[in-house]
Amino acid sequence: MLTVALPKGELLKHSIRLLKTIGLDFSGFLDSGNRQLQITDTSGTAKGLLVRAQDVPVYVEYGQAQLGVVGFDVLQEKKPQVAHLVDLGFGYCRMSVAVKQSSPYKSPLDLPAHGRVASKYVNCAHEYFHNLDLPIEIVPLYGSVELGPITGMSEAIVDLVSTGRTLKENGLVEIATLYESTAYLIAHPLSYRLNKDNLGDLIGKIREAIVAQGLANKK
């Protein structure tokens, strides 16, 4: 039976809506009274796993799920051994460098050598500043990274930004974008190559649904 790993949080509702258009209904996960982490879709042809977004590629990479939906930001940070299949187009955000509005730094290259940058995306931040040939200490934070510059612990942060409202309310401003992120459909590489559980047909239907939604949005 096909198993799909679905992310908790902002991407869940969009993911369920998309899968429902191709005949896989995991809307039980949206029921506030439901505490199940694994359910079978209403047609009885597939299972859904409800996991943290960061864990989606882990379940797919290790073969516990053949398909998964996850943000590009997670793929960039984790670099899992999975097949990147389809940009699903929803869940837009961007990975940005931000500093205090009162800061003299107008670009990442203005940051002092060996200065501090707070981030929960340690690998992405390290790679970015390494490519700039700027020695920076990455301070790992997994809560409100905005407090880094506010408290003076760091000169800047690297974090996901959607509307920018949180940055603005905390007196921070973006000075660079590392990359933009949307949700991606990923697959277990071997299952994909072997077309296990007719993955090819299902992926084709998802591609068609994305194209149809794009055309509908343009009307």
Helix (H, G, I), strand (E, B) or coil at 207: helix
Structure tokens at 17: 């809506």
72 and 144 together in one domain:
no
What's the pLDDT score for residue 216?
Answer: 47
* Phi, psi dihedral angles at 204 (to 5 degrees): -60, -40
Residues 76 and 57 in one domain: yes
pLDDT the model gives residue 217: 54
Number of domains in the chain: 2
Which CATH number fits the domain that encloses residue 75?
3.40.190.10
Give the closest residue to 158 by CA, choosing from 28, 14, 36, 172: 172
Residues 49 and 97 in one domain: no
Bridge-partner residues for 7, per DSSP? 51
State which residues form the domain around 116.
93-181
7 and 87, same domain (yes or no): yes
In a shared domain, residues 12 and 87: yes
**3-state DSSP of 145-195:** CCHHHHHCCCCEEEEEECCCHHHHHCCEEEEEEEEEECEEEEECHHHHHHC
Pairing relationship of beta strands 46-51 and 38-40 according to DSSP bridges: antiparallel
The tens place of each residue's pLDDT in the chain, 219 residues long, gives 999 999 999 999 999 999 999 999 999 999 988 899 999 998 888 999 999 999 999 999 999 999 999 999 999 999 999 999 999 999 999 999 999 999 999 999 999 999 999 999 999 999 999 999 999 999 999 999 999 999 999 999 999 999 999 999 999 999 999 999 999 999 999 999 999 888 999 999 999 999 887 744 544
Residues 87 and 187 in one domain: yes
79 and 51 share a domain? yes
Question: Both 176 and 205 in a single domain?
Answer: no
